[in-house]
Amino acid sequence: MEDSRRFLQKKTHLRCGGQELNLSTPVVMGILNVTPDSFFPGSRATAADAVAARVHRMLSDGAAIIDVGAYSTRPGAGPVPPAEELRRLCAAMEVVRGKFPQAVASVDTFRAEVVREVVAQFGAVIVNDISGGQLGQGMFEAAAELGLPYVLMHMRGTPQTMQQHTAYANLVEEVVRYLSEKVNALHAAGVADVIIDPGFGFAKTTAQNFELLARLEELKIFELPVLAGLSRKSMVYRTLSVTPAEALNGTTALNMLALANGADILRVHDVKEAAEAVALWAATKAAAAAAAAE
């Protein structure tokens, strides 16, 4: 019985090359977009000095992971050729690895060939794949072969078409089924560390996003870390009738709800505010545990 309980215990430590990521308390993933067209300009940095400044700020503010993206996945974003995506990523990773070698980096891409080249040049990274292995070939095999943690996100279609695929008979049931099939495929391929992302904003309406958030704890069935990417998204700014630039307060509110419902990683544009939300959530949880033990 004791061995069975240990097997079913949620995974809280991930390895990324020689680095270990401890998720026993939720952590913050800071967004670094090396693109000219990501939806929130505050996350963009392309010149080396701008990349260095943003990474330094995010790490100082409490980021545990730096997520580097070179292909905008906002609704309707145009495609980026693999060579250009790789050029952008390598320029940014040269700064990250050169100036901040202690940082855990993730790469936001769905292309296995891009992952392989980044790892060959800069060492192990977390793979943050919005497509669940569907938009490129060989991603699961690459992550397994290279021993990389893998963020598995739910999405339908492509970034260009995803908002045409929001019809669900049962949203949460279908998301869970999709993730279950992909987790099994990843484990079969040999990927040891999987992180679950329900894909807020990807092939979901605003109402569906809020349903997913309200029922996020149902993803605990996987006993895997859960990533919530809510930062400044349309579910925030449209609901509040503000712009993405004005959506920080709403983002912080939803991040706290995500933490309460089981999120282990908050992927955000604004690290300081997210780290403060984690600290307050952790203090509340500790107080509740102490009261229960009396």
User: Which residues are tagged catalytic?
Assistant: 233, 267
Instruction: State which amino acid sits at residue 70.
Output: A
Contacts of 147 (CB under 8 A, 6+ apart): 15, 17, 124, 192
Token reading at 64: 């545990």
Q: Which residues of 48-70 are buried (b: 16+ CB within 10 A; e: fewer)?
A: eeebbebbeebbebbbbbbbbbb
* Burial of residue 11, with CB atoms counted within 10 A of its CB: 0-12 exposed, 13-18 middle, 19 or more buried: middle
Which DSSP state fits 42?
A: G
| Counts for the chain of helices (H) and strands (E), in that order | 10, 10
Contacts of 122 (CB under 8 A, 6+ apart): 90, 93, 94, 96, 97, 105
CA distance 279 to 273: 10
Contacts of 109 (CB under 8 A, 6+ apart): 69, 70, 71, 85, 89, 115, 127, 128, 129
Contacts of 4 (CB under 8 A, 6+ apart): none
Which DSSP state fits 226?
A: B
Token reading at 193: 């560390």
CA distance 228 to 213: 9
